[in-house]
């Protein structure tokens, strides 16, 4: 990987002709003003997702990059990760010439991705075990495609709060699908392949460069006040619409 100027972005792949882009944003902590180390566990956890996305999009003109944070934590009203995510999106969009971009975030990274989704070239977000405390803004999510995924056994971030975020985002005009994995854990270490497969499938579907599973397409078609498609089973095999 190569670091972009300014250090907010690490580019994993940049094709000569770019048809789409994926930016991965790892998790972090509620409060931590230290800078992340090279062995930062939340960052390392997203590496397999980056590798899976890179493999799945080989030869399809998809740029792949990872966000770099200044600090390990969100840090209250400072919302450091949100600012870093916005800067990473801006840099990636410049590098790709404005290619459609999907953000894949885990935990704090999903919260940052949802905050940054209002950027003009961002078409959607894949939010894995997202941290969605009450009161998060949703106006920026209008017209975006959002795929949430949460393990019901997550004891770090709340599945109930991510469900409410999905409901609120749909009410704001987003196209939303939300998946649930029975049991599981926050780190996505149990049934890792299922998580990786869903993330790569969802990224391709949101970018319009891959098939859209039938249940995801049906969920995207739901509108404000319609509850269908917000507790989809997170299964390994999917059938395209």
Domain positions in the chain: 2-233
Question: What pLDDT, on a 0 to 100 scale, did the predictor assign at position 7?
Answer: 55
Mean pLDDT, range 164-183, rounded to an integer: 98
**Residue 78: helix, strand or coil by DSSP?**
helix
**pLDDT band, very low/low/confident/very high, at 97 (cuts 50, 70, 90):** very high
User: In degrees rounded to 5, what are phi and psi of residue 207?
Assistant: -75, -15
Q: Kindly list the distances between the CA atom of residue 181 and the CA atoms of 26, 37, 156, 188, in Å, as whole numbers in the listed order.
A: 20, 31, 15, 10
Q: Which CATH architecture has domain 2-233?
A: 3-Layer(aba) Sandwich (3.40)
**pLDDT tens, position by position, 115-124:** 999 999 999 9
Write the pLDDT tens digit of every residue in 42-90.
878 889 999 999 999 999 999 999 999 999 999 999 999 999 999 999 9
């Amino acid at each position: 990987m190569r670091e972009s100027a300014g250090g907010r972005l690490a580019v994993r792949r940049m094709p000569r002709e770019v048809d789409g882009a994926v930016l991965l944003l790892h998790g972090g902590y509620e409060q931590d003003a230290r800078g992340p180390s090279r062995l930062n566990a939340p960052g390392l956890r997203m590496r397999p997702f980056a590798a899976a996305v890179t493999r799945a999009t080989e030869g399809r003109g998809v740029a792949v990059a990872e966000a770099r944070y200044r600090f390990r934590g969100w840090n209250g009203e400072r919302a450091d990760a949100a600012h870093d995510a916005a800067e990473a999106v801006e840099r990636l969009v410049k590098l790709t010439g404005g290619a459609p971009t999907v953000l894949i975030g885990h935990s704090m990274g999903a919260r940052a991705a949802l905050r940054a989704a209002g950027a003009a070239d961002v078409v959607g977000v894949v939010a894995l075990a997202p941290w969605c405390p009450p009161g998060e803004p949703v106006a920026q999510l209008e017209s975006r495609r959002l795929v949430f995924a949460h393990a019901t056994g997550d004891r770090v971030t709340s599945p109930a709060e991510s469900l409410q975020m999905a409901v609120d985002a749909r009410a704001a005009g987003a196209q939303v699908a939300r998946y649930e994995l029975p049991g599981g854990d926050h780190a996505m270490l149990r049934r890792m392949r299922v998580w990786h497969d869903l993330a790569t499938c969802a990224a391709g579907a949101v970018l319009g460069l891959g098939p859209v599973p039938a249940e995801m397409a049906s969920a995207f078609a739901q509108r404000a006040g319609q509850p269908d498609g917000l507790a989809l089973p997170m299964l390994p095999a999917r059938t395209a619409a």
